[in-house]
Amino acid sequence: MKLYPLKFKPIFKYRIWGGEKLKTELNKNYDEKNVGESWEISNVSGDETLVFDGVLKGNSLKDLIDQFKGDFVGTAVYKKFGNEFPLLIKFIDAKTPLSIQVHPNNKVAKERHNSFGKNEMWYVMQADKDAELIVGFEEKMTKEDYKNHLENNTILNVMHHENVNEGDAFYIPTGRVHAIGAGVMLAEIQQTSNITYRIYDYNRIDVKTGKKRDLHNDLAIDVIDFNLYKNYKINYNLDKNISNKLVHTPYFRTNILDINSTIKKDYSEIDSFIIYICVRGSMDLISEGIKYSVKLGETLLLPASIKKVQLKSKSAKILEVYF
């Protein structure tokens, strides 16, 4: 059986803060209310996405790795992760703000949860007027200062609030306190992990449970980075029809392509799968003479064994993600 570019069937997640944009803006198909997340490519236990079509329809990422090994994920990726898939790709729609939260690093997550840590990045696809993200602190902070702000319900006053627009991108390393604000829809690229420490949640009640959501301040306090940083937003170039570097880390690499032509891509030097996330417009990928369309709000995974493709669009912005 031969590998080909793969789409997966998304998994939709109810969230207390979720809205309708995944349906109205990205044409996702679901009936539930308050869907806040579309998990596009996931190997999280219990939430494994399955191949959408073709002869491999119904296969999970684990199935594909078991069957194709390095041909699917890349030889180096397979040696490092075995049958685990290292990345989780989501679209997120925040109608109301997410909790203020933080994620542990690989070491802590392994010790406490037998999980990867959760380094992640955001690419803003749409933002309402005056919508914002919360990233890091606005002033120098000690552990004691932080505890006082938590006890006094003033933690929001010392967080860095940043108004955002389409195209803004942020890297959220483990330890950085953060939250997506109301009115923001974004693409999220992260390590395969579902470990979140919630530190503040606006004292709100979840209508599904009738209760406040749990906070994890005892766990969070040891992993928070209290340092102050000058800039949290990523500055990047957006030259036409080439891969522009967005975020390159030990956990994933993301480029952005602004395409208005036909371009040839040769991935011979990259020993990894490639994931394309369409964040504006639409694109056709041509592999061995077969055309695969990627529309706004869709993802496509190119197995590592496929090295040469063409990307064709009149107008598209594509995130290009690999390990």
List, by residue number, the catalytic residues.
198
For the stretch 11-14, contacts whose Cβ atoms lie closer than 8 Å and that sit 24 or more positions apart, written own/partner, are 11/38, 11/39, 11/42, 11/47, 11/49, 12/37, 12/38, 12/39, 13/37, 13/38, 13/39, 14/208
d(CA 184, CA 189): 16
C-alpha to C-alpha distance for 186 and 301, rounded to whole angstroms: 19
Tokens of 306: 């496929």
Q: Is 113 known as a binding-site position?
A: no
Instruction: Give the CB-side neighbour count of residue 226, counting CA atoms within 13 A.
Output: 12
User: Hunting for tokens 């002869």 — which residue is that?
Assistant: 55
Query: At which residue do the structure tokens 């194709």 appear?
Result: 68
Instruction: Judge whether 103 is annotated as a binding position.
Output: yes
3-state secondary structure of 181: coil
120 is in an annotated binding site: yes
Q: Which residues are annotated as a binding site?
A: 103, 120, 178
Q: Which residues are annotated as a binding site for Zn(2+)?
A: 103, 120, 178
